[in-house]
Amino acid sequence: MRILVIEDETKVGSFIKRALEEETYAVDLCEDGAKGLELACATSYDLVMVDLMVPTMPGLEIVKGIRQAKIQTPILILTAQSQVDQRVTGLDAGADDYLTKPFAIDELLARVRALLRRGSTESPGVLQIDDLLLNLATREVTRGGQRINLTVKEYALLEYLMRHTSRVLTRPMISEHVWNQDFDTFTNVIDVYVNYLRNKIDRGHVKKLIHTVRGSGYMLKADG
């Protein structure tokens, strides 16, 4: 999953970015409000975190700008302002959640997971397709009741595929959300990791879940 963090305090932003990346999220960090709004509107993010006090554009204006652009990406406000009326103003502007500084990183990560789950038709904290299950809280992956051990990057790739089942995911989309970088047409790293996943997810099973869409990318689906 790809997250945008708009935070001008370098130490705080770097701390958040590192913590999120350790949880396999791809993270873009921006210290400028106007630039942050531009990124939020131009790039497909799964979550946007906004500090209320950032240069060039207040956080509330960023939130309003995102919603005025008809973008429904979940927004989490981060701020040292703790008054109730300020929290209400932020939520009324279009934010989905509000976290007051200083905060425990475990609480931040829990709120991130909760916001990313919103709108999911799956059971809370669990992604499932056929007999393949991914527990977002424990990161345990099983198929047919058998546990599957994945590397950090394999897990991130599988989570992205499972959050978009039956949808064709192009290599550039996978590169941006899993590797957090522009797709390099001269590398086959995505194909290599998809094959790693196939060997662990589909090998030994009659029903294959990972499918290649020739000329387009990959899809995770239970039929076909």
Cα dist. 116→34, 125, 185 in Å?
Answer: 24, 10, 30
| More reliable by pLDDT, 218 or 83 | 218
Domains of the chain plus CATH, in order, are 2-117 (3.40.50.2300), 126-220 (1.10.10.10)
CB count within 10 Å of CB 133 equals 19
CB 4 within 8 A of CB 57: no
Average pLDDT rounded to a whole number, residues 174-188 = 73
CB count within 10 Å of CB 166 equals 12
pTM of the entire predicted model? 0.67
- Give the type of residue at 108: L
Place of tokens 């942050």: 36
The encoded tokens of residue 217 equal 């990318």
pLDDT-above-70 percentage for the chain = 94
Lowest mean pLDDT, pick from 62-76, 80-94, 154-168, 180-194: 180-194
- Give the type of residue at 151: T
The encoded tokens of residue 199 equal 């060997």
- Helices assigned H by DSSP within 75-213: 84-92, 105-117, 152-163, 171-174, 189-201
Residues 102, 107, 112, 116, CA torsion sign: negative
What would the pLDDT profile of 54-88 be if each residue is shown by its tens digit? 999 999 999 999 999 989 899 999 988 777 887 78
Average pLDDT rounded to a whole number, residues 150-158 = 92
Average pLDDT rounded to a whole number, residues 40-51 = 91
- Quick one: pLDDT at residue 136? 83
